[in-house]
Amino acid sequence: MMPGVALISVFKYLSLAGSGAAALKLGANGLYRHYRIFFAYLLFRVPNGIWPILLGTESRWYERCWVFTEPVVLIFNVLMVSELYRLILDKYPGIYSLGRTFLYVGVPLSVTISAITLLPKITRQTSQHSQVLPYYFAAERGIDLSLAIFILLILVFLAVFRVPLARNVRIHAAVFSVYFLAGSMALLVRTLFGLRVGDLVNLLLTGASCGCILAWLFLLNPRGESLPAKEAISTGALKEERILVHLDALNRTLSRASRQISAN
């Protein structure tokens, strides 16, 4: 076995064990109540990581299982991004509602556009089996692209407004951004350069995923749920306070608009 392949296997086993340990930790200390979708995803990762090891990638059953499990992974990705967005904007329901609408409209739109671009490549001579898989890849590409853009917008929002967040939420936002964007970049590189960079991409992706799982395991704890204490008043603090006042005003405006739309 080549060193790179062996290292990929080590990362996979560590990631699998870390997912199970992180789920147990969240369940034991009660943090699963705050991160329900993320907790469910960690539980799902364990069996979803075991069956490829048992079947082997060369098995004829591997692709059949992948066809059923990959949509579940994509759904989890959408729900986890939505949950992260809710955690960040928990005190700003008006802004959260608007952003969630854009997310749930943008994802199917991106998937549709991605699927349409594949139509010219699928001919009548293409086998029925081969006709299905490209649409799976199109869905994955469309969902990953829209979610990656949404995550980047969340990071820009946090950089501009400096919303007071609990330590756990800040850690979760940072780690999840690395975790998801690493997967999106891996998909992009594979699309651009093909299988010749497959081993290197798999090594970097499994290493990044393993690092993120271990970060969640060791850094999330009950103490991190408390909000940070207010800093002493300074020029920078006053500026941030004014920005948050404007954010509150925007949130109230969007909340009133949402209630008016619902009433009509």
pLDDT digits (tens, 9 = 90+) for 167-221: 999 999 999 999 998 888 887 777 666 656 667 788 888 999 999 999 999 999 9
Q: What is the pTM of this model?
A: 0.83
Between CA 184 and CA 140 the distance in angstroms is 9
Rounded percentage of the chain residues whose pLDDT exceeds 90: 34
CB neighbours (10 Å) of residue 149?
14
Between CA 29 and CA 251 the distance in angstroms is 33
3-228: CATH topology: Rhopdopsin 7-helix transmembrane proteins (1.20.1070)
pLDDT digits (tens, 9 = 90+) for 55-81: 887 788 888 888 889 899 999 999 999
Between CA 251 and CA 254 the distance in angstroms is 5
Per-residue confidence band for 234, with pLDDT thresholds at 50, 70 and 90: very low
pLDDT of residue 25: 96
Q: Please, what sign has the CA dihedral across residues 127, 138, 82, 167?
A: positive
- The residue assigned the tokens 């069956």 is 51
- The residue assigned the tokens 């692209």 is 145
What is the DSSP annotation of 109-148?
HHHHHHHHTTGGG--TTS-HHHHHHHHHHHHHHHHHHHHH
pLDDT of residue 241: 60
Q: Is the pLDDT of residue 45 over 90?
A: yes
The answer to whether 30 touches 222, Cβ cutoff 8 Å, is yes
pLDDT digits (tens, 9 = 90+) for 85-128: 999 888 888 777 878 888 888 888 887 877 677 655 555 444 44
